[in-house]
Structure 1
Amino acid sequence: MQELLKAIASGLVEKPEEVVVTSEEENGTTVYHLHVAEDDMGRVIGKQGRIAKAIRVVMRAAATRNDQKVMVEID
């Protein structure tokens, strides 16, 4: 799952080497923290958060296939 999130984010940003994904377990839910360069933050969030929402939808769909619960936070 971390590799999927990193691959999605790396395709969106100008500095893919600065994309870092960390995870932690919280109440049975895996929380993924996506860290990107300051300049690329707008590219990952998108207008009115549309790209961020799409990333979360894809991650939730992938997690459902593995019977998991996930959340994505963009830092």
Structure 2
Amino acid sequence: MAEEPLSAQDAEAPQPELPSDRVADLVELVVCGLVDHPDDVTLEVTDSADGCLIEVRCAEEDAGKVIGRHGRAIKALRVLARALGSRVGVPVEVEVLG
């Protein structure tokens, strides 16, 4: 029995939103508000059985703004991400790769 090729409609069908997508959207919104070059901000979201890892990449000169003095900004961002993650049922870790 031969498999039928995907139709154009099937190929464009949106993927169901994962709980980690909501957390990634929050992280992106906050980070883009902190940096001078929001177009350079990218997120890599890795879902696993243990939870979700969100790696934030930004321009080198903006990494300090995302981290903040004594790490206060990234700590606050992690608290927000973990709070939303617990609400949607997924453990979350956030890392900054400048």
Deviation at 1:29, TM superposition (A): 1.2
Higher strand share: 1
Cα distance in 2, alignment partners of residues 45 and 35 from structure 1 = 12
Matched pairs, number: 75
Query: Is 1:3 equivalent to 2:45 in the alignment?
Result: no
User: What residue in structure 1 maps to residue 63 of structure 2?
Assistant: 41
Report the RMSD for the aligned CA atoms in angstroms: 0.9
Instruction: Return the index of the structure with the highest Cα Rg.
Output: 2
Deviation at 1:27, TM superposition (A): 4.2
Q: Which runs of 5+ in 1 are unaligned?
A: none
User: What residue in structure 2 maps to residue 69 of structure 1?
Assistant: 91
User: What residue in structure 1 maps to residue 53 of structure 2?
Assistant: 31
Cα distance in 1, alignment partners of residues 25 and 88 from structure 2 = 15
Identity of aligned residues (%): 33
* TM superposition outliers: structure 1 runs of 4+ over 3 Å: none
Cα distance in 1, alignment partners of residues 60 and 93 from structure 2 = 21
